[in-house]
Amino acid sequence: MADFDYDLFVIGGGSGGVRAARTAAATGAKVGLAEESRMGGTCVIRGCVPKKLMVFASTYRDTFADARSYGWDFPDGTFRWAPFRDKLHAELDRLEEVYRSLLDKSGVDIHDARASLADPHTVRLDGGRTVTAKHILIAVGGHPVRPEIANAHLGLVSDDIFQLDALPKSVLIVGGGYIACEFACILSGLGVEVTQHYRGAQILRGFDDEARGLISEMMQARGIDLHLGTNIVDLRPASEAPEGPVGTGSDAAMGAPVGVGDATATVVEPARPSATARPGGPVWVKATNGSARSFDHVIFATGRAPNTSGLGLEEAGVTTGRRGEILVDDYSQTSVPSIYAIGDVTDRIQLTPVAIREGMAFTETVFKGNPTKPDHALVPSAVFTQPELGTVGLTEEEARDQEPVDIYCTSFRPMQQAFAGRQDRVLFKLVVSKDSRRVLGCHIVADHAGEMIQLAGIAVKAGLTKEQFDATCAVHPTVAEELVTMAVPIRSA
């Protein structure tokens, strides 16, 4: 058998790659790992962790407002971005070091270099050095993509938000998925004037319709100027905004429809790519709803793509799919037997805990002789909007296509916010099989729904029935007690 430098070489130091490297090294395997950027990957450096800290920062506005209703008296405060951002970055530095030291203590060789495949057992590192490995694991993640429109390079993406020099006064967020909705709520909470354009009929496509509807309503009630069925038709540096009524008048500045069916409006030439303008400056945007105005920034939250370009996949014979994702079997093995892939680069479920579990299943399969498929069924998740959306299992729409279901649902103003005079409502919904009585899906819209769905997810994953939920005594007074007190279905579907 050929001698290799490593038993395992991992490309990518994000959550999935690091966990796979550590667990493989713990079996006595000789492991190397290459990371071209910062250890910790998307989740730690430019995703879940800094996002969640920003969520915390942004919720204090409501907390302070509510506190007055609860008898507290204090002067008005203001949010200061720079000290928060600096503290945020110090925390990310600390976490990066934790990741490094975990790898170090596990005996993993760290290569701070970009790596690509040279052949099924050889990895090329920056500077031309090569290493060989019996197994190679690709865990390089993904990156945000901008839409294919002229001047899209002027817009920011989620990675850029954590680096802002100053908090903008106004932003346009394009997209209706996790990232768009989370940042709309965060920035609005921090005092930024937020406009959001989503091309579809309702935000958060793929989630339960009723839950989406309530989140959308709540976001608008918080002052987010959400426009559904809307997309950009023209994007330019604000300094190149067209002259005349379009985009210069106060109506336009307020986002009122202009230029559509308006004989006096200036005809706007299609935008030419602006070669000089740099990303991040003020931009002028004309949208399909007829609005035309300038924003301090436009932020594209229009999806993510796998980081497969320039990875040497073709040279090594690794097959990719239509979106560039690495195709793998149930054990995360690619078309090349010595090469495996996990995490966002495989575009299965783009969630950190899923990537981590894929990494652990890889180690079980390859280094512990215990073939293990990562379990992608009934994965709970949360969208950290305000209020949050926690979800596990089937939506009502998915479930009713599968079998007859009973829907248990309640929506009400929770005590804490109602006392403070807020109109916020929460929603608890269980989708129950008529036949087996199993809870097929659970959807919660409420503050801390992310925490709640982690717990409810255990019951749903365990296949419990509605009657078993109801056999659990309520915890009173809580909002979550509704999960065990909804006696009668509101409808059957």
User: From the CB of 387, what's the least distance to ligand NDP, in Å?
Assistant: 14
CB neighbourhood size of 420 (10 A): 16
Among the residue ranges 73-81, 297-305, 361-369, 418-426, the one whose residues contact ligand NDP (CB under 6 A): 297-305
Structure token pair of residue 486: 């909804």
229 binding ligand NDP? (CB under 6 A)? no
Site string for ligand NDP, 124-163 (x = CB under 6 A): -----------------------x----------------
Closer by beta carbon to ligand NDP, 298 or else 311 = 298
170 binding ligand NDP? (CB under 6 A)? no
Single-letter residue type at 348: R
Of the candidates 193, 271, 264, which has an alpha carbon nearest to the alpha carbon of residue 239?
Answer: 271
Closer by beta carbon to ligand NDP, 199 or else 437 = 199
In this structure, are residues 486 and 409 in contact, taking their beta carbons and an 8 Å threshold?
Answer: yes
289 binding ligand NDP? (CB under 6 A)? no
Total residue count of the chain as it appears in this document: 493
Figure out which of the listed residues 17, 177, 237, 247 binds ligand NDP, where binding follows CB under 6 A.
Answer: 177
Q: Are strands 292-295 and 283-287 parallel, antiparallel or unpaired?
A: antiparallel
393 binding ligand NDP? (CB under 6 A)? no
301 binding ligand NDP? (CB under 6 A)? yes
User: For the chain, first and last CA: distance in Å?
Assistant: 60
In this structure, are residues 302 and 147 in contact, taking their beta carbons and an 8 Å threshold?
Answer: yes
Quote the CA–CA distance of 118 and 116 in Å, as a whole number. 7
Quote the CA–CA distance of 386 and 196 in Å, as a whole number. 15
Closer by beta carbon to ligand NDP, 161 or else 179 = 179
Closer by beta carbon to ligand NDP, 198 or else 295 = 198
How many residues in the shown chain lie near ligand NDP by CB under 6 A? Answer: 24
DSSP per-residue letters across 8-38: EEEE--BHHHHHHHHHHHTTT--EEEE-SS-
User: From the CB of 337, what's the least distance to ligand NDP, in Å?
Assistant: 29
Figure out which of the listed residues 31, 179, 326, 449 binds ligand NDP, where binding follows CB under 6 A.
Answer: 179
Figure out which of the listed residues 191, 303, 312, 324 binds ligand NDP, where binding follows CB under 6 A.
Answer: 303
Question: Closest-CB residue for ligand NDP?
Answer: 177
205 binding ligand NDP? (CB under 6 A)? yes
Among the residue ranges 19-27, 28-36, 111-119, 301-309, the one whose residues contact ligand NDP (CB under 6 A): 301-309
User: From the CB of 80, what's the least distance to ligand NDP, in Å?
Assistant: 26
476 is catalytic: yes
In this structure, are residues 200 and 68 in contact, taking their beta carbons and an 8 Å threshold?
Answer: no
Closer by beta carbon to ligand NDP, 298 or else 486 = 298
Quote the DSSP letter at residue 326.
Answer: B
Among the residue ranges 86-94, 169-177, 328-336, 457-465, the one whose residues contact ligand NDP (CB under 6 A): 169-177
382 binding ligand NDP? (CB under 6 A)? yes
User: From the CB of 157, what's the least distance to ligand NDP, in Å?
Assistant: 9
The arrangement of strands across the sheet holding 381-383 comes to 381-383, 388-393, 439-446, 426-433, 405-412, 491-492
Of the candidates 117, 146, 139, 148, which has an alpha carbon nearest to the alpha carbon of residue 130?
Answer: 117
255 binding ligand NDP? (CB under 6 A)? no
Closer by beta carbon to ligand NDP, 242 or else 380 = 380
Closer by beta carbon to ligand NDP, 176 or else 280 = 176
Closer by beta carbon to ligand NDP, 248 or else 308 = 308
* Cα distances (angstroms) measured from residue 226 to each of 183, 216, 341, 413: 13, 8, 38, 22
312 binding ligand NDP? (CB under 6 A)? no
Quote the CA–CA distance of 130 and 5 in Å, as a whole number. 10
Q: Are strands 304-306 and 297-300 parallel, antiparallel or unpaired?
A: unpaired
* The one catalytic residue among 197, 227, 443, 476: 476
User: From the CB of 42, what's the least distance to ligand NDP, in Å?
Assistant: 9
All residues at 6 or more sequence positions from 405 whose CB lies less than 8 Å from its CB, including other chains: 396, 399, 431, 432, 433, 434, 440, 492, 493
Residue numbers of the site for ligand NDP (CB under 6 A)? Answer: 147, 174-180, 182, 198-200, 205, 231, 301-304, 350-351, 381-384
Catalytic residue ranges? 476
